[in-house]
């Protein structure tokens, strides 16, 4: 297991993820080997590159990767040659992790931490499947002269095969869940979305006729996600729409600090697991960040890359129990008492037993 702590609060939350994995190993009699490497801003400072060759190499040889977060204000200069985020994008691309699974589940104990009303968020259980290695993130981009001065462009491209594989993976996920699949696009405006829609519809018609299938425009989806989030089961969409909608969706359960994500290239094999939150530089080094998203990412790692279902469930149960006991980090405490990052890690480790 390669650990990529990264920047900001990354090292603090990954440390708790590692402890939880070690606790799982102890309880279930496994041996995990950890290898910590640099990525992001820290890697730029140390080696000039956001994804050093030895980090990529270690990731390629690993069975799974647990990442904290990358980025921070000191690397934000828009004219900089390299940016921390490039390290993450390159890693996803190099390992062909084309599907990003982002489960959005409202934990019943925490419904009051959501800015939305209880009757809207209670029972929310959505799995976003975001395409991760194509679209506008990886299209041609650059600067050129325009009639009105300097211009910039970023091309959004999808190939048929890229849409097929991610829709297929989302369809398989829907079959394991509630049997409902929603594809989100902007086909009323973008040609790339018209291709996406055609391909998605064909894949569903030919291979997933057992699913309830629906197509929603991305602007409408932004609205439905907060007006009737319970109506969705699996939602599949392109890279940028998925980036935006999952940040919006993260407010349903109340905190970004609870949401894990898995980037995979299929249902088995090496994957990259991370919290969906960012590096939160303002919170770094203060022992206040919520480690539960990373802990839950570690559970996804156990399930998808190591095929350790029982162990994954044990971690998820431990997190639930800790929440049931009333323990909260500051982000979900709604003004009540809170525990720090490490103390929250202790609680989960203790619960795993």
Q: Which does 7 bind (CB under 5 to 8 A by kind): ligand IPM, Mg ion, none?
A: none
Residue 131 interacting entry, from Mg ion, ligand IPM, none, C-beta within 5 to 8 Å by type: none
- 334-343: list long-range contacts, CB under 8 Å, 24+ apart: 334/112, 334/113, 338/288, 340/287, 340/288, 341/9, 341/12, 341/13, 341/16, 341/287, 341/288, 341/289, 341/290, 341/291, 342/12, 342/15, 342/16, 342/287
CB of 52 to Mg ion, least distance (A): 23
What is the smallest separation between the CB atom of 185 and Mg ion, expressed in angstroms? 19
Active-site residue (options: 219, 231, 282, 324): 219
d(CA 278, CA 147): 38
From the candidates 137, 158, 213, 273, give the one annotated as an active-site residue. Answer: 137
Residue 137 a catalytic site member: yes
Q: Which of 272/322 has CB closer to ligand IPM?
A: 272
Kindly state the smallest distance separating residue 134's Cβ from Mg ion, in Å. Answer: 16
Instruction: Pick the closest to residue 353 from 4, 8, 25 (CA basis).
Output: 25
CB atoms under 10 Å from CB of 251, counted, come to 18
Nearest distance in Å: CB 71, ligand IPM? 6
| Pairing between β-strand 65-69 and β-strand 272-275 as defined by DSSP bridges | parallel
Residues near ligand IPM, by CB under 6 A: 71, 85, 88-89, 243
| Contacts of residue 77, Cβ cutoff 8 Å, sequence gap at least 6 | none
Q: Are 222 and 252 in contact (CB under 8 A)?
A: no
- Beta carbon of residue 74, minimum distance to ligand IPM (angstroms, whole number): 15
Kindly tell me the burial class for residue 143, based on how many C-beta atoms sit within 10 Å of its own C-beta (0-12, 13-18, 19 or more).
exposed
Distance of closest approach, residue 243 Cβ to Mg ion, in angstroms: 4
Q: Tell me whether residue 4 or residue 88 sits nearer to ligand IPM (CB atom).
A: 88
Catalytic residue among 35, 125, 247, 287: 247
Q: Which is nearer to Mg ion, 256 or 347 (CB)?
A: 256
Q: Which of 41, 29, 1 is nearest to 17 (CA)?
A: 1
For ligand IPM, give the closer residue by CB, 89 or 121. 89
Q: Is 112 a catalytic residue?
A: no
Secondary structure element (H or E) that encloses residue 350, with its range: helix 341-352
Nearer to ligand IPM, 71 or 254 (CB): 71
21 binds, among Mg ion, ligand IPM, none (CB under 5 to 8 A by kind): none
Provide, rounded to whole angstroms, the least separation between the CB of residue 85 and ligand IPM. Answer: 4
The binder of 8, among ligand IPM, Mg ion, none, by C-beta within 5 to 8 A per type, is none
Nearer to ligand IPM, 162 or 243 (CB): 243
Which residue has the CB atom at the shortest distance from ligand IPM? 85
Which does residue 41 touch among ligand IPM, Mg ion, none (CB within 5 to 8 A, set by kind)?
none
Cα–Cα distance measured from residue 42 to residue 72, given in angstroms and rounded to the nearest whole number: 10
Annotated catalytic residue within 158, 186, 213, 233: 186
Residue 88 touches which of Mg ion, ligand IPM, none (Cβ within 5-8 Å per kind)? ligand IPM
CB closest to Mg ion, residue no: 243
Which of ligand IPM, Mg ion, none has residue 85 at its interface (CB below 5 to 8 Å by kind)? ligand IPM
Where helices occur in 183-308 by DSSP H, the ranges are 191-207, 218-227, 239-249, 292-304
Residues that bind Mg ion (CB under 5 A): 243
Is residue 77 part of the annotated active site? The answer reads no
Q: Which helix (DSSP H) or strand (DSSP E) does residue 173 occupy?
A: helix 160-176
341 with 12: CB under 8 angstroms? yes
| Residue spans of alpha helices (H) in 51-142 | 53-61, 84-94, 118-121
Q: Which one, 295 or 323, has the nearer CB to ligand IPM?
A: 295
* Residues taking part in catalysis: 137, 186, 219, 243, 247
């Amino acid at each position: 297991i390669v650990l990529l702590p990264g920047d900001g609060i990354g090292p603090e939350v990954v440390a708790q993820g590692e402890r939880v994995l070690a606790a799982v190993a102890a309880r279930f009699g496994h041996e995990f080997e950890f290898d910590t490497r640099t990525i992001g801003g820290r890697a730029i400072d140390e080696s000039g590159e956001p994804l050093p060759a030895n980090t990529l190499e270690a990731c390629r040889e690993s069975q799974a990767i647990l990442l904290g977060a990358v980025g921070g204000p000191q690397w934000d200069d828009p004219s900089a040659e390299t940016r921390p985020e490039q390290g993450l994008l390159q890693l996803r691309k190099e390992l062909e992790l084309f599907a990003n699974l982002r489960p959005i589940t409202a934990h019943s104990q925490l419904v009051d931490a959501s800015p939305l009303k209880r009757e809207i968020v209670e029972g929310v259980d959505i799995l976003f499947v975001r395409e991760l290695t194509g679209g506008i993130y990886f299209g041609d981009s650059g600067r050129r002269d325009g009639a009105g001065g300097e211009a910039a462009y970023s091309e959004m491209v999808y190939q048929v095969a890229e849409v097929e594989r991610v829709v297929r993976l989302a369809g398989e996920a829907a079959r394991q869940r509630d049997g409902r699949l929603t594809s989100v696009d902007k086909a009323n405006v973008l040609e790339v979305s018209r291709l996406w829609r055609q391909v998605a519809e064909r894949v569903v018609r030919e291979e997933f006729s057992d699913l309830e299938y629906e197509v929603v425009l991305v602007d409408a989806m932004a609205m439905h996600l907060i007006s009737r989030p319970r109506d969705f089961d699996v939602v599949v969409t392109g890279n940028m729409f998925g980036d935006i909608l999952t940040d919006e969706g993260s407010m349903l359960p109340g905190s970004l600090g609870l949401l894990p994500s898995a980037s995979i290239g299929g249902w088995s094999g090496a994957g990259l697991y991370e919290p969906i939150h960012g590096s939160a530089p303002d919170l770094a080094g203060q022992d206040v960040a919520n480690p539960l998203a990373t802990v839950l990412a570690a559970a996804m790692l156990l399930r998808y890359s190591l095929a350790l279902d029982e162990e994954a469930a044990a971690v998820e149960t431990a997190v639930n129990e800790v929440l049931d006991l009333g323990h909260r980090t500051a982000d979900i405490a709604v003004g009540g008492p809170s525990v720090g990052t490490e103390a929250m890690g202790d609680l989960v480790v203790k619960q795993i037993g």
